[in-house]
């Protein structure tokens, strides 16, 4: 699925936004390299003065070296501060954009993708990408320093200069080989890591089921197995890198040995001074750092390419589809809904074929039928969580695909079958639907949803934190809070999917009246298993074999639809 484009180039606009910071970082890196090169030059000179023991010159050079080193520290410090600032800005921009793309994905992308994939890309990959410039400039200044040093060696002795170049070529070849092997094992580790994060998320979110169904050992076995696999993959990637590093270092030691033999020859033939030999030998460490930097830089770029592919794959909707909306904007819908020859399938499984029905504004309509018939799916299609494959859904006579996201989402409120309650206070949860809602409005909707009295019994009332997915609330309280949240949206169309299934009869009866009341100026669509809760609906759609086999009032269906009658009588 991954495209073979160089996604690393996609990072450029992120840095372009902070051109001044980038330029400052580059100038400071170059400055660091330039000033650092003065060190070996003056140290070489000082060694020469020591040979002659010229005390005055030694002191002068030592003072100069002190100044050079202090300047290096100052430049390094400035570089570090600016590059960190740049890092954090790019990191934030990447995370923001990626999160925005994620919220624009079609819901179906979440049905079959491990959540670990999203979390790991959002969290780890963006951070790795943002750090790339830091590493590149850090390594680049060392590389420039190394190159300048080689040029300096050429001035001291041309043959040693050529030897150093050969040295670099040999090591670079080994580094190339290392990178290609490392890239493969690293990618394998990252894929395993994504799956593991998904499993962690599952066990943490599903811990109550895990405990109550005594699934601990099943989960632990599975997770331990995957953990072991992931840790092994990570170890393999670290081991591969380290083993190759050791081989490369061993090769460098061997080349150092040859360098000493060559130097003996040149000193004997007086084409190299002992001071120059010592300086080159001492600074060969720098060449090693330089080689490490090349290797590290290539590793980081290889890692960066993997991260960039994973981040921009999401950000550019390469493997994930984006929700599509039209641009027709309607502030207030009247609330008429029509399904015309609607066909829909999940993945490749056909669920509806030529589904037809209409709902008038301000009607209260119920959808009933056995489990798995597609009642929830009808609501999700009305709300455009999923798009139809064939046919049309019309809202006020306008094709839903032509309407803007705002027109649909602001005009339709839905209470899902298992609503998600956010880990906020009760008040904040309701305010999500209307950010500027005043306390009185919040209390009003809570009274309508029959949850106000329950909230008042809590120690902190409306300010009570409800925990992850409203863990401190009962099933029925969660449902009523979700209803209050939907009512707060003040949308024209209200969709309730089994929204009162966990309520006691008394509360259910009260909400039934509230809904009846609401349907005076709202279109209300209710999915319910308990038929007694919807007998007063204006119209009931009876689903069987994924199509509407009968529709009408309760009275009409009792007389004309034997299946419905049977269902109702079982309940009695």
Ligand X SMILES: Nc1ncnc2c1ncn2[C@@H]1O[C@H](COP(=O)(O)OP(=O)(O)OP(=O)(O)O)[C@@H](O)[C@H]1O
Q: Residues interacting with Mg ion, by CB under 5 A?
A: 376, 417
Q: What contacts 469, CB < 8 A, 6 or more positions away?
A: 205, 420, 421, 423
Contacted entry of ligand X, Mg ion, none for residue 507, CB cut-off 5 to 8 Å set by kind: none
Taking the least distance from each CB to Mg ion, the nearer of 297 and 499 is 499
Rounded CA gap, 199 and 511, in Å? 39
Q: Is 376 in the site for ligand X (CB under 6 A)?
A: yes
Q: Is 417 in the site for ligand X (CB under 6 A)?
A: yes
Supply the minimum distance, in Å, between the C-beta of residue 379 and ligand X: 8
Looking at residues 10 to 29 of the shown chain, list those that interact with ligand X (rule: CB under 6 A): none
Q: Which residue in 383, 384, 491, 477 sits closest to 433, CA to CA?
A: 491
Q: Is 125 in the site for ligand X (CB under 6 A)?
A: no
Contacted entry of Mg ion, ligand X, none for residue 467, CB cut-off 5 to 8 Å set by kind: none
Contacted entry of Mg ion, ligand X, none for residue 330, CB cut-off 5 to 8 Å set by kind: none
Contacted entry of Mg ion, ligand X, none for residue 377, CB cut-off 5 to 8 Å set by kind: ligand X
Taking the least distance from each CB to Mg ion, the nearer of 291 and 527 is 527
Q: Do β-strands 412-415 and 523-527 pair in parallel, antiparallel, or remain unpaired?
A: unpaired
Supply the minimum distance, in Å, between the C-beta of residue 370 and ligand X: 7
Q: Among all residues, whose Cβ is closest to Mg ion?
A: 376
Q: Is 463 in the site for ligand X (CB under 6 A)?
A: no
Tokens 């409306």 map to which residue? 462
Rounded CA gap, 32 and 73, in Å? 9
Rounded CA gap, 218 and 214, in Å? 8
Residues in the chain: 572
Supply the minimum distance, in Å, between the C-beta of residue 371 and Mg ion: 7
Phi, psi of 323 (to 5 degrees): -65, 135
Q: Is 377 in the site for ligand X (CB under 6 A)?
A: yes
Q: Which of 372, 420, 432, 566 binds ligand X (CB under 6 A)?
A: 372
Which pair of structure tokens corresponds to residue 158?
Answer: 């041309």
Q: Which residue in 508, 492, 377 sits closest to 367, CA to CA?
A: 377
Contacted entry of ligand X, Mg ion, none for residue 351, CB cut-off 5 to 8 Å set by kind: ligand X
Taking the least distance from each CB to ligand X, the nearer of 337 and 426 is 337
Supply the minimum distance, in Å, between the C-beta of residue 476 and ligand X: 17
Phi, psi of 41 (to 5 degrees): -60, -50
Supply the minimum distance, in Å, between the C-beta of residue 367 and Mg ion: 9
Q: Is 371 in the site for ligand X (CB under 6 A)?
A: yes
Q: Is 414 in the site for ligand X (CB under 6 A)?
A: no
DSSP codes, 119-180:
HHIIIIIHHHHHHHHHHHHHHHHHHHHHHHHHHHHHHH-HHHHHHHHHHHHHHHHHHHHHHH
DSSP codes, 422-491:
PSSBHHHHHHTT-TT--HHHHHHHHHHTT-HHHHHHSTTGGG-B--GGGTTS-HHHHHHHHHHHHHHTT-
* C-alpha R_g of the chain: 35
Taking the least distance from each CB to ligand X, the nearer of 25 and 496 is 496
Q: Which of 150, 373, 476, 515 binds ligand X (CB under 6 A)?
A: 373
Contacted entry of ligand X, Mg ion, none for residue 346, CB cut-off 5 to 8 Å set by kind: ligand X
Stretch that binds ligand X, among 48-56, 60-68, 271-279, 372-380 (CB under 6 A): 372-380
Q: Which residue in 125, 135, 120, 126 sits closest to 91, CA to CA?
A: 126
Supply the minimum distance, in Å, between the C-beta of residue 367 and ligand X: 8
Q: Is 202 in the site for ligand X (CB under 6 A)?
A: no
Q: Which of 286, 375, 489, 512 binds ligand X (CB under 6 A)?
A: 375
Contacted entry of ligand X, Mg ion, none for residue 373, CB cut-off 5 to 8 Å set by kind: ligand X
Stretch that binds ligand X, among 55-63, 264-272, 344-352, 465-473 (CB under 6 A): 344-352
Stretch that binds ligand X, among 6-14, 89-97, 205-213, 345-353 (CB under 6 A): 345-353
Taking the least distance from each CB to ligand X, the nearer of 16 and 112 is 112
Q: Which of 31, 44, 116, 374 binds ligand X (CB under 6 A)?
A: 374
Q: Is 419 in the site for ligand X (CB under 6 A)?
A: no
Q: Are 411 and 332 in contact (CB under 8 A)?
A: yes
Supply the minimum distance, in Å, between the C-beta of residue 564 and ligand X: 15
Q: Which of 153, 351, 355, 365 binds ligand X (CB under 6 A)?
A: 351
Put the strands of the sheet holding 364-369 in their side by side order.
412-415, 493-497, 523-527, 364-369, 539-544, 547-552
Q: What contacts 231, CB < 8 A, 6 or more positions away?
A: none
Q: Is 476 in the site for ligand X (CB under 6 A)?
A: no
Supply the minimum distance, in Å, between the C-beta of residue 510 and Mg ion: 23
Contacted entry of Mg ion, ligand X, none for residue 111, CB cut-off 5 to 8 Å set by kind: ligand X
DSSP H helical ranges for 322-438: 375-382, 405-411, 426-431
Q: Are 422 and 359 in contact (CB under 8 A)?
A: no
Supply the minimum distance, in Å, between the C-beta of residue 569 and ligand X: 19
Taking the least distance from each CB to ligand X, the nearer of 334 and 501 is 501
Taking the least distance from each CB to ligand X, the nearer of 206 and 372 is 372
Supply the angle between the helices 55-103 and 19-52 in degrees, to the nearest 10.
160
Q: Note the Cα 449 to chain centre separation in Å.
A: 35
Q: Is 389 in the site for ligand X (CB under 6 A)?
A: no
Stretch that binds ligand X, among 171-179, 317-325, 346-354, 485-493 (CB under 6 A): 346-354
Helix (H) or strand (E) holding 525: strand 523-527
Rounded CA gap, 316 and 308, in Å? 11
Taking the least distance from each CB to Mg ion, the nearer of 185 and 527 is 527
Looking at residues 73 to 112 of the shown chain, list those that interact with ligand X (rule: CB under 6 A): 111
Q: Which of 155, 281, 332, 346 binds ligand X (CB under 6 A)?
A: 346
Rounded CA gap, 224 and 200, in Å? 11
Instruction: List interacting residues with ligand X (CB under 6 A).
Output: 111, 346-347, 351, 371-377, 417
């Amino acid at each position: 699925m991954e495209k073979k484009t160089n996604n690393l180039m996609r990072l450029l606009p992120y840095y372009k936004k902070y051109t001044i910071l980038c330029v400052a970082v580059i100038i400071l890196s170059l400055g660091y390299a330039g000033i650092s090169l003065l060190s070996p030059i003056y140290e070489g000179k000082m060694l020469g003065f020591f040979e002659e023991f010229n005390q005055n010159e030694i002191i002068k050079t030592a003072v100069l070296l002190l100044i050079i080193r202090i300047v290096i520290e100052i430049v390094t410090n400035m570089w570090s501060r600016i590059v960190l600032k740049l890092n954090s800005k790019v990191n934030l921009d990447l995370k923001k954009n990626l999160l925005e793309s994620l919220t624009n994905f079609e819901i179906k992308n979440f049905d079959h993708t491990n959540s670990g994939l999203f979390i790991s890309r959002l969290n780890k990959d963006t951070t790795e990408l943002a750090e790339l410039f830091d590493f590149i400039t850090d390594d680049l200044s060392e590389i420039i320093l190394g190159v300048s040093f080689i040029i300096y060696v050429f001035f001291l002795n041309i043959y040693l200069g050529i030897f150093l170049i050969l040295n670099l070529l040999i090591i670079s070849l080994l580094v190339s080989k290392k990178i290609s092997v490392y890239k493969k094992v690293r990618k394998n580790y990252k894929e395993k890591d994504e799956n593991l994060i998904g499993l962690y998320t599952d066990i943490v979110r599903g811990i109550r089921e895990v405990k109550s169904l005594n699934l601990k050992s099943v989960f632990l076995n599975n997770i331990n197995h995957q953990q072991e696999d992931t840790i092994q993959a990570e170890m393999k990637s670290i081991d591969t890198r380290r083993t190759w590093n050791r081989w490369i270092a061993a090769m460098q030691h061997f080349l150092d040995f040859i360098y000493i033999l060559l130097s003996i020859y040149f000193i004997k033939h007086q084409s190299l001074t002992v001071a120059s030999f010592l300086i080159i030998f001492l600074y060969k460490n720098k060449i090693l750092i330089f080689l490490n930097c090349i290797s590290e830089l290539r590793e980081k770029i290889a890692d960066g390419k993997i991260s960039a592919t994973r981040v921009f794959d999401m950000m550019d909707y390469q493997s994930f589809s984006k929700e599509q909306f039209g641009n027709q904007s309607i502030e207030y819908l009247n609330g008429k809904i029509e399904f015309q020859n609607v066909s829909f399938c999940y993945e490749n499984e056909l669920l509806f074929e030529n589904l037809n029905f209409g709902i008038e504004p301000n009607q209260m309509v119920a959808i009933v039928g056995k489990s798995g018939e597609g009642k929830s799916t009808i609501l999700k299609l009305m709300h455009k969580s999923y798009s139809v494959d064939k046919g049309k859904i019309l809202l006020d006579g306008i094709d839903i695909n032509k309407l803007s996201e705002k027109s649909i989402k602001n005009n339709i409120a839905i209470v899902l079958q298992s609503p998600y309650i956010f880990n906020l206070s009760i008040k904040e949860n309701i305010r999500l639907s209307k950010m500027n809602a005043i306390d009185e409005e919040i209390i009003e909707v809570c009274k309508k949803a029959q949850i106000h009295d329950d909230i008042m019994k809590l120690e902190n009332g409306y300010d009570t934190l409800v925990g992850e997915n409203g863990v401190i609330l009962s099933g029925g309280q969660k449902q009523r809070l979700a209803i209050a949240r939907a009512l707060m949206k003040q949308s024209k169309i209200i969709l309730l999917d089994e929204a009162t299934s966990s309520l006691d009869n008394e509360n259910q009866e009260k909400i039934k009246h509230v809904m009846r009341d609401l349907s005076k100026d709202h279109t209300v669509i209710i999915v319910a298993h308990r038929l007694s809760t919807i007998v007063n609906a204006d119209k009931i759609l009876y689903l069987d074999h994924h199509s509407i086999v009968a529709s009408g009032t309760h009275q009409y269906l009792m007389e004309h639809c034997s299946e419905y009658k049977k269902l109702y009588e079982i309940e009695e």
